[in-house]
Amino acid sequence: MSRVASIDKYDLEGYTLDKVQADDLQNLIEVCQEHIQDVDVEAITKAFKLCYLSHKETSRASGEPYYYHPVEVAKIVASEINIDDVSVIASLLHDTVEDTDVNLDDIRYWFGEEVAVIIDGVTKITGVFKSRDSKQAEAFMKLLLTMAEDIRVVLIKFADRLHNMRTIQHLKREKQVKIASETMDLYAPLAHRFGLFRIKNELEDLCFKAIDPTSYKFVARKLREKKEDREEFINEFMEPIKKELGRMQFKFEIKGRPKHIFSIYRKMQRQQKPFEEIYDLFAIRIILEDPHTKEDCWRVYSIITDWYTPIPERFRDFISVPKNNGYQSLHTTVITNRGRKVEVQIRTRRMDDIAEKGLAAHWKYKEGAQQGSDTLDKFVNWVRDVLDNPRPDAATDFVKDFQLNLYKDEIYVFTPNGELKTLPRNATPIDFAFEIHSEIGERAMAAKVNGKMVPLRQTLHNGDQVEIITSNKINLNPDWIDDVVTHKAKSRIRQFIKQKQRKVAEEGREIWDKRAKKGSIEISEQELNKFAKRFNYESTQELFFDIGSGVFEVNDLFMAVKKYKSTGRFEDNEGEDAESKQVTEGEIQDKYLSEARSYGDGKSLYINGELSNIKYSYANCCNPIPGDDVIGFISRTGDIKIHRAMCNNAQHLLKTEAERIVDVSWAKNLDTKFLGAIKVIGGDRVGMINDITDVLSKSLETNMKSINVNSDSGMFEGIITLYVDDIDHLERIMKRLEKIEGVKNVLRYE
């Protein structure tokens, strides 16, 4: 019935576009014709009309008409992923079934089954990512199956999320951080697993910009400042290589690709180095045009190493051993005659297309290239492997385990027969055993790595040859759960632990039943559940587990039940009070949330020492100071803990308890001091510490809390904690210390 009603409502044949809409449509068609083949202009026009008509009553947070969004998503699908016109049509209509009165029957009637299946898949994905409670477990599994059946579903969802991230500045800060955290946590790693490196990099940068705009702007500014020097160096570096490639009649393109902003920032944090000391800020990419082959890539590598000295440990051959997502390239890092390190990537045009667009490119090449088909088959098998393994009871566990399969850093190890296996970095022989077969993992008792006996918990490395020694019976150890990193291993061990817990709980219930029968006590399951709550257990299952394992005395439960049966009430009404207290705490929590989000200007929680009734404190893990990008988390007790936005603990809280986030902004003219820390690196000399303390105490009138100094091989490194007013004060201190004789670098200490 709804299909007929929709057809009557939307006269797609008779509707005439106005000039603005016609220009938008023409622009989309031109993008499609430039980037994809066999464009069905008539079908795209009809889809555009339905997109506009079904969304014309709604607007985005920016105030723009809503139809702009699906049109931009369609452009991304056409120009940046380059699949087909069916995907463009589905992109234009991807929100209709969820947000308008158009349904799947309407889509089938107008555009056919293929478009309807894709839109249905995109709608399911949206539902999954909006909620991760237990009701979503099956939907998440359906999502994976849909991805395996038609990869275009998830490619459209990537385009949808990419455009949302590009326009995220129109949302409230609180919502920006939540969406950016989810994108960084799930979409970016999944894009990496699909080989969509360009999209993955842009998503990470946009997330970084939303979560910590100050640090983002700092790195972006530094990159801009170095742009001319970088381009000059690339031209100088490549000049002799270009001449030699030209002499050998290679057809090629050279790109000097700067690393994306978030990867540079992450490296600065990980290595605790300033921007100036990160040497691989960019990579030089040499792309060989058709009909050059992988053998030609090795010839180019030989030319480069004739001119520049390679660093052996920085060489990676992803042509002979491609990554799981099909990525192929030769990577080498060389040193110039000035001592500068440069990363060089060598690949063919087809390899570059796959490197940028990943499985999307394989999908495009599938008809005519067996390799593309093989890679798609690997992906389908990967998805089905996730689904075929034991399912955790909770959807949150399933999502967590699924994320384990989205690892970015891989190692390559071999079976005794020389078969290659890909595992995430930090994998152990236990992970390897489960990768071979679940039964091998369950019966593993020892391992040989490169012919030597090693502990099952030892970390594996690239190139290791691994042999698993098994027993005749199941040898699973629950303690392995903290040593494994793959989905297969964690899922099976978790299932094993729960099986053991259920068995112990059953034994505990038997102990209780015998005690209750002996004491002539009868009690309902509902009443038992109240006693479990009274003794601070979430369920009777947990109570019986502790009874079965000897942690909780069954007689304590018996005496409490006996007293209840004789008096008709819980002792001192503790059971009812406990339940009442829980409700009260929940009400108090809601009150704090409401007050925190409405205080001040109605959008931000100001930190000014007069924060109504809400208590707050600064997290010791990251020591935020005024000027930092910060977020607040409301604790169970109602006070607020303030973290720097990119703090590891804050990122974890964003993933696990996003509902407790509250937007925080600094008040002006705070009359208090904050604890900051800096690292000073330089040449060791007599009087260095005196000069530093003089500058801090006399020139800058800054009080120090502590200074820790290490000196080795003529180099000095000091970590200074001091009291500052704000981030500007800290930066002035750092700039002034850089002027001291012998000081090489000063950076904020994390």
Active site residues: 98-99
CA 175 to chain centre: 17
Dig out the tokens for 93 from the structure.
Answer: 């209509």
Dig out the tokens for 601 from the structure.
Answer: 């200007």
Dig out the tokens for 376 from the structure.
Answer: 């798609």
Name which of 36, 313, 24, 268 is nearest 152 in CA terms: 36
**Residue pair 574/563 in contact by the 8 Å Cβ criterion:** no
Q: Which of 734-743 are b and which e, b meaning 16 or more Cβ less than 10 Å from the residue's Cβ?
A: beebeeeeeb
Backbone torsions φ then ψ of 434, nearest 5 degrees:
-70, -30
In order, the DSSP letters of 672-722 are S-EEEEEEEEEE--TTHHHHHHHIIIIIS---EEEEEEEEETTEEEEEEEE
- Cα distances from 187 to residues 77, 183, 406, in angstroms, run 16, 5, 10
552 Cβ contact partners less than 8 Å away, ≥ 6 residues apart: 535, 543, 546
223 Cβ contact partners less than 8 Å away, ≥ 6 residues apart: 258, 261, 264, 281
Q: Which of 295-319 are b and which e, b meaning 16 or more Cβ less than 10 Å from the residue's Cβ?
A: ebbeebbebbeeebeeeeeeebebb
What's at 630, amino acid-wise?
V
**Residue pair 748/272 in contact by the 8 Å Cβ criterion:** no
CA angle 28, 31, 37 (to 5 degrees): 115
Can you say whether the dihedral through the CA atoms of 437, 441, 445, 447 is positive or negative? positive
439 Cβ contact partners less than 8 Å away, ≥ 6 residues apart: none
Cα(207)–Cα(211) distance, integer angstroms: 6
**Residue pair 498/541 in contact by the 8 Å Cβ criterion:** no
**Residue pair 138/160 in contact by the 8 Å Cβ criterion:** no
Q: What share of the chain is helix, strand, coil (3-state, %, to 5)?
A: 55, 15, 30
Task: Determine which helix (DSSP H) or strand (DSSP E) holds 533, and give its type and residue range.
Answer: helix 525-534
**Residue pair 96/54 in contact by the 8 Å Cβ criterion:** yes
Q: If 0-12 CB within 10 Å is exposed, 13-18 middle and 19+ buried, where does residue 708 land?
A: exposed
Name which of 500, 498, 418, 427 is nearest 457 in CA terms: 427
Q: How many CB atoms lie within 10 A of CB 696?
A: 20
